[in-house]
Amino acid sequence: MGNTANSNVYWGGALGIYLDNSHNNTVINNDKGIYVYSSSDNLIYNNYLANTNNAYDTRNNIWNTTKMPGTNIIGGSYLGGNYWSDYAGVDSNGDGLGDTLLPYNSSGNITNGGDWLPLVSTGGPLWTRYSSRIDNETQCLGVGGIAVDSEDNVIIASNRDVIKYDSNGNVLWGYDLCGCGVAVDKTDDSVVVGLCNSSLIKFSKIGNILWIKELQEELYLSGVKSVNPDGNILVSGFGSVDGDWKSYYEIRDKNGNWGAPLLVYN
Residue 134 lies in a domain: no
Residues 6 or more apart whose CB falls under 8 angstroms from that of 36 comprise 19, 42, 44, 55, 56, 57, 58, 59, 61
How large is the average pLDDT for residues 77-86? Answer: 90
Q: Are residues 16 and 114 in the same domain?
A: yes
40 within 8 A of 20, measured Cβ to Cβ = no
Task: Return phi, psi of residue 196, to 5°.
Answer: -65, -35
**pTM higher than the cut 0.75:** no
Residue 235 lies in a domain: yes
Which of these three, 94, 124, 154, is where a domain ends? Answer: 124
Q: Are residues 163 and 75 in the same domain?
A: no
User: Which residue in 31, 61, 58, 57 sits closest to 43, CA to CA?
Assistant: 61
Minimum mean pLDDT among 83-92, 129-138, 168-177, 244-253: which range? 129-138
Cα angle for residues 194, 195, 197 (degrees, 5° grid): 75
Q: Are residues 115 and 191 in the same domain?
A: no
Residue 36 lies in a domain: yes
Residue 203 or residue 227, greater confidence: 203
Preceding amide of 103 cis, omega within 30? yes
Q: Are residues 218 and 177 in the same domain?
A: yes
Task: Report the domain count for the chain.
Answer: 2
Task: Return phi, psi of residue 63, to 5°.
Answer: -105, 10
pLDDT of residue 117: 97
- Which pLDDT tens digit goes with each residue over 209-239? 999 887 665 566 667 777 888 888 887 777 7
Q: What are 235's strand-pairing partners? A: 224, 250
- Of 58-72, 123-137, 216-230, where does the model show the most confidence? 58-72
Rounded-to-integer distance, Cα 102 and Cα 83, Å: 14
Three-state DSSP at 222 gives strand
Residues 6 or more apart whose CB falls under 8 angstroms from that of 197 comprise 177, 178
pLDDT of residue 137: 45
Give how far the C-alpha of residue 57 lies from the chain's centroid of Cα atoms, to the nearest Å: 29
The count of C-alpha atoms lying within 13 angstroms of the C-alpha of 4, restricted to the half-sphere facing its C-beta, is: 5
Residue 155 lies in a domain: yes
Q: Are residues 153 and 247 in the same domain?
A: yes
DSSP letters spanning 20-63 = ES--S-EEES--S-EEEES--S-EEES-EE-SSS-EEE-S--B-
- Whether the per-residue pLDDT at 37 is higher than 60: the answer is yes
User: Which residue in 210, 147, 204, 145 sits closest to 178, CA to CA?
Assistant: 145
Residue 130 lies in a domain: no
Residue 259 lies in a domain: yes
Rounded-to-integer distance, Cα 9 and Cα 221, Å: 40
User: Which residue in 54, 2, 57, 56 sits closest to 27, CA to CA?
Assistant: 2
Minimum mean pLDDT among 72-76, 101-105, 176-180: which range? 176-180
Residue 135 lies in a domain: no
Residue 137 lies in a domain: no
Q: Give me the domain span that covers residue 248.
A: 143-265
- Which pLDDT tens digit goes with each residue over 82-116? 988 889 898 988 899 999 999 999 999 999 999 99
pLDDT of residue 51: 77
pLDDT of residue 2: 47
Q: What are 141's strand-pairing partners? A: none
Q: Are residues 149 and 60 in the same domain?
A: no
The count of C-alpha atoms lying within 13 angstroms of the C-alpha of 148, restricted to the half-sphere facing its C-beta, is: 5
